[in-house]
Amino acid sequence: MKKIFALLFATMFFLSACDSGKDAEQPAPEPAIEETQPEPAVVEPVAEEPPAEEEAKPELVEESAAEVVEEAVAIKLPEPETAQVLREWKYKEGTHYRRLVPTQPTVGGADKIEVAEVFWYGCGHCFDFESYINKWKQDLPANVRFVRIPALWNPLVALHGRLYYTEEVLAKNGALANPEEFRAAVFQEYHRRGNRLTSEGAIQKFFERFGVDAETFGKTWKSFEVDQKLRVAQDLARRYGITGVPAIVVNGKYRLGAAEVGSYPGLLEAVDELVEKESIR
């Protein structure tokens, strides 16, 4: 009986040992692998292109940041005549002289300031003014030209105007030796000796006293040069609005006379002031 129990015990021990071996031989279970979800791919946004028919809107640029393409051109205003503004003029426009608008032509060119005396040999005022104007013209500035224009408003005055230009041309050609002496003699002949020189014959005889022969006188008296000078004088007298003599016109711009200024010395002082005004403009 004891042998049977021993046999049964051994059999049970053997079976339990087999079961234990079987379990040992089985591989250990692999550790569970945690499933990871793949990260989604990052897709960069693609900029949409504007439709072909639409143009891009212009970029607004502030004025201060804008690039200057062209240099601004400054507008230069005429500078005031500073010297004239600061200068206190004694003689006034509208009172002592008249401004000719527009400025009129002159006998000579624009290279100098022209002072023109409009006169008539038969005018008593012109005779009185002669000594003043002759003294004044001795000290002319280098930029001033003095000329004489004879008045021509009636036949006798026009005859004396032709006398003056015949005298001028003969002096230029050397046929009249002393034109200043001749001019003074004409005034004396008319105003002191009573010879009014009312005809071509009377004027010819007067020229002969100063060494001009009849032929030279006749050619000059009727010459184209004298005729042309008379046409210019007539045109300028009209342009200057001459109604009385002696009258002074400065640079074709200002007209004045002793009646407006008050005296012959004052007239020449006003002329000097206008010459100065023209010199600094």
For 11-37, how does the pLDDT look when each residue is reduced to its tens digit (9 = 90+)? 454 444 444 444 444 444 444 444 444
Where would I find the H helices in the chain? Answer: 2-25, 82-86, 124-136, 155-172, 179-191, 200-208, 214-221, 224-240, 258-261, 264-279
Q: Which residue has the higher pLDDT, 264 or 30?
A: 264
Tell me how many domains the chain contains: 1
Q: What is the mean pLDDT of residues 253-267?
A: 97
Residue 277 has pLDDT above 50, yes or no: yes
pLDDT given for residue 281 in this prediction: 76
**Taking the complete model, does pTM exceed 0.85, yes or no?**
no
β-strands 113-119, 247-250: how paired? Answer: antiparallel
Residue 153 structural domain:
84-279
Where residue 41 falls among pLDDT bands split at 50, 70, 90? very low
**Residue 18 forms part of a structural domain:** no
**Residue 63 forms part of a structural domain:** no
pLDDT given for residue 87 in this prediction: 80
Query: Using one digit for the tens of pLDDT, what is the confidence trace for 74-119?
Result: 555 555 555 555 789 999 999 999 999 999 999 999 999 999 999 9
CATH number at residue 161: 3.40.30.10
pLDDT given for residue 63 in this prediction: 45
Residue 148 has pLDDT above 90, yes or no: yes
